[in-house]
Amino acid sequence: MFPGGHAMNDSVDTGSVLQHKFKQLGKLAMTQQDLVNFVVQLESI
Protein backbone atom coordinates (compact mmCIF):
# COMPACT_ATOMS: atom_id res chain seq x y z
CA MET A 1 0.00 0.00 0.00
CA PHE A 2 3.02 2.27 0.09
CA PRO A 3 4.66 3.20 -3.21
CA GLY A 4 8.38 3.05 -3.85
CA GLY A 5 10.17 6.06 -2.42
CA HIS A 6 7.97 6.07 0.68
CA ALA A 7 9.73 5.16 3.92
CA MET A 8 7.23 2.35 4.58
CA ASN A 9 7.68 0.73 1.17
CA ASP A 10 9.68 -2.49 1.18
CA SER A 11 9.84 -3.34 -2.53
CA VAL A 12 12.31 -0.62 -3.54
CA ASP A 13 15.79 -0.22 -2.09
CA THR A 14 15.09 3.08 -0.35
CA GLY A 15 18.64 3.29 1.00
CA SER A 16 20.05 3.35 -2.52
CA VAL A 17 17.54 5.97 -3.65
CA LEU A 18 18.27 8.14 -0.61
CA GLN A 19 22.03 7.90 -1.16
CA HIS A 20 21.48 9.32 -4.63
CA LYS A 21 19.22 12.05 -3.29
CA PHE A 22 21.75 13.06 -0.63
CA LYS A 23 24.45 13.36 -3.29
CA GLN A 24 22.26 15.40 -5.62
CA LEU A 25 21.19 17.81 -2.90
CA GLY A 26 24.53 17.91 -1.10
CA LYS A 27 26.53 18.85 -4.18
CA LEU A 28 24.46 22.02 -4.49
CA ALA A 29 26.08 23.28 -1.31
CA MET A 30 29.34 21.40 -0.70
CA THR A 31 32.51 20.25 -2.35
CA GLN A 32 32.71 16.56 -3.19
CA GLN A 33 35.04 15.80 -0.27
CA ASP A 34 33.02 17.80 2.27
CA LEU A 35 29.90 16.03 1.08
CA VAL A 36 31.42 12.57 1.46
CA ASN A 37 32.59 13.41 4.99
CA PHE A 38 29.24 14.94 5.90
CA VAL A 39 27.21 11.95 4.72
CA VAL A 40 29.54 9.50 6.47
CA GLN A 41 29.14 11.55 9.67
CA LEU A 42 25.35 11.50 9.40
CA GLU A 43 25.23 7.80 8.68
CA SER A 44 27.35 7.12 11.74
CA ILE A 45 24.96 8.74 14.21
Cβ 22 to another protein, closest distance in Å?
A: 12
Instruction: Give the nearer residue to another protein in terms of CB position, either 27 or 31.
Output: 27
Instruction: Give the nearer residue to another protein in terms of CB position, either 7 or 45.
Output: 7
Residues in the site for another protein, rule: CB under 8 A? 1-6, 11-13, 16-17, 20-21, 24-25, 28
* CA-based end-to-end distance of the chain: 30
Cβ 45 to another protein, closest distance in Å?
A: 24
Q: Pick the closest to residue 2 from 19, 18, 14 (CA basis).
A: 14
Tally the C-alpha atoms within 13 A of residue 36's C-alpha that lie toward its C-beta: 2
